[in-house]
Chain A
């Protein structure tokens, strides 16, 4: 019940395309859903986060869509750029403290 399942494991998108990564959770106590971006040799960095009282949040080219009834949320990257190539992790927590991470998606943007 503590798991967050993420898909796909890897994703290749052409430059300018839309990258979509999906996550699903079971624990309805989760109240904070962040997405982290990680480059090789670096620690994860917060990209964007959402709380379950809204269905969508947009920051620049990055959008989180949240479906509370389905217990799913997804990250959309519009106009994907080669610099977006990284590993992306969804996560969930309660009380914005203990984070449970998904397995990660390695995104490659082809120029």
Chain B
């Protein structure tokens, strides 16, 4: 079974520029998550989708971050404009619906904002 795919793997941008990340979850997984992992810290949930609806975006900085999951499959996370403190690894995870469902993580996108 193919894992969670993310692209790009690395991105370097100047502050105030915009950037987008793409995620393709495991086939059949209804739930998709975006996490932010700052160096030396644990991942922090930014947004959770169930199919193409948002379940939780309480920790998403909505003035600059946006995410969508069209057709309940792939998802994109956008930052506009980027700040220095957005430098982090952005992880996408997916899980099937049901109790005790394991979250499977992609390799992440490492973003550096200069």
Interface residue A1 (Cβ < 8 Å from any Cβ of B):
no
Report the count of interface residues on A (CB-CB < 8 A): 24
Task: Determine the distance from Cα of A95 to Cα of B107 in the docked complex, in whole angstroms.
Answer: 25
Report the count of interface residues on B (CB-CB < 8 A): 24
* A99→B107 contact, CB < 8 A: no
* B100→A32 contact, CB < 8 A: yes
Task: Determine the distance from Cα of A97 to Cα of B107 in the docked complex, in whole angstroms.
Answer: 20
* B105→A45 contact, CB < 8 A: yes
**Which residues of chain B have a CB within 8 Å of any CB of chain A?**
4, 31, 40-45, 48, 55-56, 91, 93, 95, 99-108
**Which residues of chain A have a CB within 8 Å of any CB of chain B?**
4, 6, 32, 34, 41-46, 49, 51, 89, 91, 95-104
Closest 10 CB pairs of A and B: A101-B42, A43-B105, A89-B42, A44-B105, A96-B100, A46-B102, A101-B43, A104-B42, A43-B106, A43-B107
